[in-house]
Structure 1
Amino acid sequence: MKQWLLQKRWRVLLAGFLTVALPLVGLTLYVYMQVLAEFEKIGLQEIQTFFNLAVYHTEEKINDDISSGKIFASRPQLLEALQKSDRKTVHENLKDLLENLTNMERAAITNRNGIMLANYPEDQRVIGMDFSFRDWYRGVSNKWEPYVSDFFLIETRPPRYLFVIAVPIRGKSGEIAAVLVLQPKEDYLKNILAEMRIGNSFIYAVDKHGNLIYHPQYTLDRVVDFSKMPAVDKVKKGVAGIEQNYDTMHKERIISAFRPMKWGWGVIMQRPSEEVFHHSGEIALGLFSLAAAFLILGGIVAYKGAGLLFAYHRLSLELQEKEIHEREMKEMLRTELAEHLQTGQKLAETMAELERSNKDLEQFAYVASHDLQEPLRKITGFIDLLEKRYGGRFDQEAAGYIHYVVDGAKRMQTLINDLLAYCRIGTRGKPFLQTDFNNVLMHVLADLGKTIESRGAEITYDPMPTLRADDLQIGQVFQNLISNAIKFCRDVQPRIHIGARYEGDEWIFSVSDNGIGIKRDFFDRIFVMFQRLHTQTEYPGTGIGLAVCKKIVERHGGNIWVESEVGKGATFYFSIPGRQQGE
């Protein structure tokens, strides 16, 4: 026995070392891959959310200018001046328009056939010229609706690449009287997109042909073809998404978010992959350093084990087997302890990263909401200007335009508030205290009293328990579900029942209605932010309410789901862990 052990000493030592080292290396690689995947998911979600806000901001900015042009086109004094061919008054109106639209550098009016009547700043050379061949005239005259033109080069020094907004001007009886043409300033898109960035990212835009219309790194005094870029090629095909690829210009890996817009444009956001995943290198270094330490420890343990084996070779075979068995048990316990320590350390690191991520998300939501207030301030200022200048002289059509502006402002404010509420669920929630759900439900029904009374809703409910919870957030869940139940019972008297029952170790609450119901294919989709099954005209809303409910319920350790058939109503369930107080 002794001779055999001496001959196989290095083989025994190597076998012991591999037995300890290989599982540790495998575990380290597994943990690294899982953490890296989670960081990649969070990084892509952050880019997608910010990019969606940037696109929404751009579309709203252009829509605001179209709305301003429509309001201007309905001025009674402008219509009267056009009817009388009073070029001086038309010119003064154009001047007044540009003084209020600071992002426009030129305005003009043609007759319905595209012949130039007046412009500001005034250029007599183009008065009387025929512009019916221009893309903007063909576009606006196609259906006589506002039109945003293709980008085109104009022969200036240096040449400029620009677009125009064309708005039809209708007479009092609805006939087409003229066309208003607005030419934005050269830095129009730059002012919208330049500051919409996160880290070292930037946003650029292309037209329907794939040519650049804005890029922070290009001077657009010529046509720059970007159609061969992978993200631009997808936008031309009407595809939206986010992907990783290689930037041949900067020789680096990038993440590109892309989406087609109205008017045939496309918007692309580009951010270096290294910036998004910079934590992965630090994590890898830490994990592999830990793995190296465990390898050394494994080698020492294996070496010491082999030394013990040779030191006690003279003992009887029974004692040797018993000692080997005890050593294997100790080794197993040591490995399990090391795994628990490693798991605890990674959990602490993950929690710290999540806390930092929540703080970054809250700051991001604040900045985004602050930037989105600009359209609201512009709308409010323009309405004040209209009221000061024209007072009660608005006709029905002008009043309709004002209603359109106010309604847009309200919807945008609601969207901002809902988005902020969603972002702050986890960071601004109250500590869980003993909460009487009966009181919470009564407060919600009182708040919805006018809505319930106006719809003639019949509401019944079961006795509610007292559980540890955040009373404000639970109230928000009840309010969102009951409001939806009333809203989607449009053609019948709403009959709603709020139930509560105890199953296993959790309470299951339900809100049932007799509304229009939901297709099974949409059961999961409705809990995703901004996912709507109906148009704004059919059923108003922002598409965030159920996502807020899901996040609140998950914060309480529960789940939320729906059961429904089309035309037979829907029942929304959510669970909250815990026992009734006193049980």
Structure 2
Amino acid sequence: MKRVSTMDGNIPQSAYTLREVLDNIIIYVINPKTMKIIHANQHFKDLLKHDPTGSSCHEILAGRDKPCPYCSLGNVSSGERKASSLHYNEKFQKLYWFNNREIPFNDELLAFNIAIDITALEETRKELEETRDSFETLLDSLPQKIFLKDKDSVYISCNNNYAVEMGIKIENIAGKTDFDFYPEKLAKKYISDDKYIISTGKGIEAEEPYIKDGTKYWVHTIKQPVKDEHGNITGVIGIFWDITEAKQARFDLEKNQWELNFKNKLTNAFITIPDKDVYSSILAILMEAIRCKYGVFGYINESGDLVCPTMTREVWSECNIPGKDIVYPEETWGNSIWARSMKEKKVIYKNEKAKVPEGHIPIINAIAAPIINQGQVIGMFNLANKDTNFNEVDSRLLADLADYIAPILNARLVQGREEQRRLEAERDLDQTLKKLKASNQDLEQFAYVASHDLQEPLRMISSFTQLLAKKFQDIIDENAKDYIEFITDGTERMTRLINDLLQFSRISSRAKEFSRVNIQDILDIVKKNLSVQIDATGAKITSDPLPKLSGDETQLIQIFQNLISNALKFRGDDPPEIHVSSKEENGFWIFSIADNGIGIEKKDIGRLFMIFKRLHSRKEYPGTGIGLASCKKIVERHGGRIWVESEKDDGSTFYFSIPKYPQATD
């Protein structure tokens, strides 16, 4: 038998029931002098499958031909008692609890041996030890801190991480209490939790503060009661881990979501709420965010003054200062908290009662934040009377919201200023147009009256000149005849100019209401009116199908007649070829009149439609310079425009547009 270790003699009794022990016990007696087995019980015989009586013990038990080197039979011979021990039998490959003691028999001492197979028990013990070691290794490898206390909140054991956290070795944790590791207040709380768990049998799970080296951390703690096999509570087991970073991340996330909610409210207010109410809404949102009762919002106008379009309703109703106004010139700002915040470009708060004029609402604390866009202060918020003191959290939050508002407010202010300028420009333009209209009406009336009054003197000059020429034709010389011809030619040109001027003035003053007009019929009328010139020049006039539209028939005839007449007048060496066409485009009829005439130089096109502007001398091409100006005025009255495309010596194409459903713009 190979010796493994020694054990206390009471192990078999604690490991087996009496019946199991008796059923598995091996009993044999050896004569220590001869080393022969002189007696063996039945269980030993059954194990060997034969009776070992008479055989040497070393042969039967160890398969040896001589005594075992560790044999203890000599102790029996000498009268020494041998304690119990464990032996591993290599022959049977089992572990036995072995006990031998001397017994007197017939005047000699015999060795009485008892052996019990504890192989299964030892294997179970080893498995339990291995499981315990593995469990302890697992506990020590966990990042969590784990501890075990008894019913009196005295530590029994812990894992390695808890011992390291407490600055103590694991073997020294037993017998300690929370007062050995924590500040008194915190230790009392932990022990109070233990008492609650032990008294109620209910566990505790919480996030709670934890102090280490004077620094506050947050831990997630779980404590549960420990029960024995009868369900009796014997202590408390606890586990906790550091959640400071996670809690801070969760706090930051909640804070960001909370801030995002207010930012969304601010954005929605700027987008959806009308101008007259938007600033009140913005102020209300900020007061909700900072939890204040009173507030004032202001922006800087183009003069550098502070304009306060809104205050808390209570401020307006309770403030009784005489001469209260919503515009504060910069020189009146003084050293108030909101003035300093704008000058210093930072959030400022005060948690003390402010000195205010009589009639002003009491101010117990206040915070002011400048609204800064691209380094320039464009406004401010001044909030007051929070139930608790203002702090750095409020300061950072208000600064963040002010930064968020800044570009939106700036865009709103720029838009407002541009809108104000636009309205002012529209008012100025409206006044100018009214003055211009009145001036044009006066001018047209003057032109009409002047033209009408000039016709009679011209007729008299022309008539009397003709009478003189007829009466004195026999006595006047050639020079006199030339003078008379000059007078007659001048009066004729003057008459044409007056007639054209009258027509120009009547475009607005004597215009007709629009009616349905067939442009093809108008072209036929124009060709008939110009038949003499058409025949004289050998002109060829063609056209595509032309539409019907609403307009002033007389004025439309005037447009086509002026443009075709010019095409006949400004012809080249070849007979004129004139083509009239139209097309529909974007709700307009676009008309074109193309010719093969002398064309127009690019530099002259810009002044072509100006009244009295002529591109040629009267000797080259007679005319008054009013025809194209009249065309432009007629087209504009119909809601369209007129233009020309031309190259010198390559003909011209005049275009003008008229809406399909025009409305007169007199």
Higher strand share: 2
> Does the pair score TM above 0.5?
no
Higher relative contact order (CA 8 A, sep 6+): 1
Higher helix share: 1
Could you say which TM-score interval applies, normalised by the shorter chain?
0.3 to 0.5
